[in-house]
Amino acid sequence: MDLIVTTAQQTVPSIIQQAKAIADKLAVPFIPRDNYSVAALKEKYAISELIVATTTGPVVHTATGEYFFHLSMAELRIKNLLNGNHDHMVTAMGLRSGMSVLDCTLGLATDAIVASFVIGENGVIIGLESSPVIALITGYGLQNFTVDSEPYITSALRHVKVKNVNYSEQLEALADGSFDVVYFDPMFRAPILKSSNVNPIRTLANMQPLTPEVISQACRVARQKVVVKEAAGSSEFSRLGMHTIVGGKYSRINYGIIDCKPQLAGGGQP
């Protein structure tokens, strides 16, 4: 991997330990900071990506920006739900307390945190992420980031379990009807560049397009629905055989839904 791990300039022994642990986990070199700037380290080691361990968690510097764990729109979306407003993703998934969700494209975990809040303590949510760096940074944030003023958001974070695996591999290994909902939010074919929250991970992210075969596996694994998020008007929906499309009238994002329940009609509960 074209990557090194270092620490913030002002460091303490625990941060050096954190940086070394990250380097070990990713099997990449740990390089002491030695007062070099990020740009100087990138040049010296001829790398395009570098992780900096800091007191607030790891930050990856990529060619398209910096990614560190943050709530992005999750906090606002949860507060909107608490105020009785509607969230298109939650409606598309048909989420309710106690449901189980497999988020196949975890990324920054914004969608997973909102889903986790809705399904609550009795629900199950697992997020799959094939990029080891994204899985590490998102996983660190979900386990360590705290919202003191809103403990229910902290609980929603802790409840998301992260697996660093490709969804194709994971879906094949899962039994029929393992989750109520299987969800995908692939990197958009035509990126909406203004949605800058995903920009910093663009060079790290898996850009593999979804295939009809993966959707069919997902339908086998889902007890209720497979949901795919894509740009409004995307031809991906028809390519993937999704004909029920929902989303806000003026939204740039739509959700394709496949109702998988009929597939279980003869088999009952898995």
β 124-128/160-163 pair status: parallel
133 to 172: interface string for ligand SAM, x by CB under 6 A: -x-------------------------------xxx----
206 binds ligand SAM (CB under 6 A): yes
Shortest distance, position 108 Cβ to ligand SAM, whole Å: 3
Closest distance between ligand SAM and the C-beta of residue 130, in Å?
4
Q: Which stretch binds ligand SAM (CB under 6 A): 15-23, 122-130, 174-182, 244-252?
A: 122-130
Q: Is 182 in the site for ligand SAM (CB under 6 A)?
A: no
Per CB under 6 A, the segment of 36-44, 78-86, 129-137, 218-226 that binds ligand SAM is 129-137
Chosen residue from 62, 92, 107, 119 binding ligand SAM by CB under 6 A: 107
What is the rounded distance in angstroms from the CA atom of residue 126 to the CA atom of residue 129?
A: 10
Give min distance, CB of 136 to ligand SAM, in A: 12
Cβ(142)–Cβ(157) below 8 Å: yes
Strands (E), 121-264: 124-128, 160-163, 179-184, 222-231, 244-246, 253-259
Q: Work out how close the CB of 85 gets to ligand SAM at its nearest, in angstroms, rounded to a whole number.
A: 18
Q: How far apart are CA 257 and CA 235, in angstroms?
A: 14
Q: Is 224 in the site for ligand SAM (CB under 6 A)?
A: no
Which residues, 61 to 90, sit near ligand SAM by CB under 6 A?
A: none
> Any bridge partners for residue 244, and if so which?
257
CB of 103 vs ligand SAM, minimal distance in Å: 7
Rounded-to-integer distance, Cα 234 and Cα 174, Å: 29
Distance CA 90, CA 222 (A): 16
Cα 153 from Cα 174, distance rounded (Å): 29
Q: What is the spatial distance between Cα 167 and Cα 111, in angstroms, rounded to a whole number? A: 17
Q: Which stretch binds ligand SAM (CB under 6 A): 10-18, 45-53, 126-134, 151-159?
A: 126-134
Structure tokens at 209: 């397009």
- Binding to ligand SAM by residue 208, rule CB under 6 A? yes
Q: Which residue in 49, 75, 87, 129 binds ligand SAM (CB under 6 A)?
A: 129
Total residues at the site for ligand SAM (CB under 6 A)? 22
Asked if 198 interacts with ligand SAM (CB under 6 A), we say yes
DSSP state of 24: H
Minimal distance in Å, beta carbon 74 to ligand SAM? 8
Is 240 an interacting residue with respect to ligand SAM (CB under 6 A)?
no
Q: Where are the alpha helices (DSSP H) in the chain?
A: 13-26, 38-44, 74-82, 88-93, 110-119, 132-144, 151-158, 167-173, 212-221, 236-239
Residues of this chain that bind ligand SAM (CB under 6 A): 105, 107-111, 128-131, 134, 166-168, 185-187, 198, 201, 205-206, 208
